[in-house]
Amino acid sequence: MPKQSSISHNLLWAPWRSTYITQPPPQDCFLCDFAERGGKLLLHKGNTCIVVMNLFPYNNGHLLIAPKKHKKDLSSLTKQEREELFFLLIQCESILKKKISPEGFNIGANLGKIAGAGVPGHLHFHIVPRWKGDTNFMPVLGKTKIISQSLDQLYKVLKPEFQHLKE
């Protein structure tokens, strides 16, 4: 009988994470950076809000919708920001339905660090596409989430849809 190792570990090949691991953490807010300078994950830059692909998505198609200005809570949003933010949530849902056919969505915001906000100072909403069975045995047993489409591939699928957005 072959000898089994007492070390239990999981391997997941993810070379794109090496940049995140080896670079120092950003000093500035990445959402403000996208609003000011753009970037390869920016899908849409509106008058007051942006839509960005999540670099570390919970599921394929996980998007972030945020005001361009660094605001930490809902009460600080202007009427125009609130209207554009909600408009973009609706458009994101529609585009994701059309392009990747999810069966449902989780949509929400984590307000404050204690609520799980990764960027507690810059309000943003998450829209996470969901499919039946997307919480299978891998995250439970293997502590590993499988996303079968690269961010670059998904960007190429979604970006043309956002280029046609008009309020």
Q: What is the pLDDT of residue 164?
A: 82
Core vs surface per residue 90-128: b (16+ CB within 10 A) or e:
ebbbebbeeebebeebeeebbeeeeeebebeebbbbbbb
What contacts 26, CB < 8 A, 6 or more positions away? 33
Q: Give pTM, 2 decimals.
A: 0.79
Question: How would you classify residue 95: left for phi > 0, otherwise alpha for psi between -120 and 50, otherwise beta?
Answer: alpha
CATH number for position 91: 3.30.428.10
Angle of helix 79-100 relative to helix 151-163, nearest 10 degrees, comes to 120
- Dihedral, 55, 95, 108, 26 alpha carbons, nearest 10: 20
Q: Let me know if residue 53 belongs to a domain.
A: yes
Q: Let me know if residue 116 belongs to a domain.
A: yes
Q: Let me know if residue 95 belongs to a domain.
A: yes
Convert the pLDDT of each residue in 63-107 to its tens digit.
999 999 999 999 999 999 999 999 999 999 999 999 999 999 999
Q: Let me know if residue 20 belongs to a domain.
A: no
- On the question of pLDDT at 113 being above 90, the answer is no
Q: Let me know if residue 105 belongs to a domain.
A: yes
Core vs surface per residue 15-51: b (16+ CB within 10 A) or e:
eeeeeeeeeeeeeeebbbebbeeeeebbbbbbebbbb
How far is the first Cα of the chain from the last one, in angstroms, to the nearest whole number?
Answer: 67
Total domain count for the chain?
Answer: 1
Could you tell me the residue range of the domain that residue 139 belongs to?
27-162
Q: Let me know if residue 16 belongs to a domain.
A: no
Which of 14 and 31 is assigned the larger pLDDT? 31
Least confident of 3-17, 32-46, 91-105, 131-145: 3-17
Q: Let me know if residue 49 belongs to a domain.
A: yes
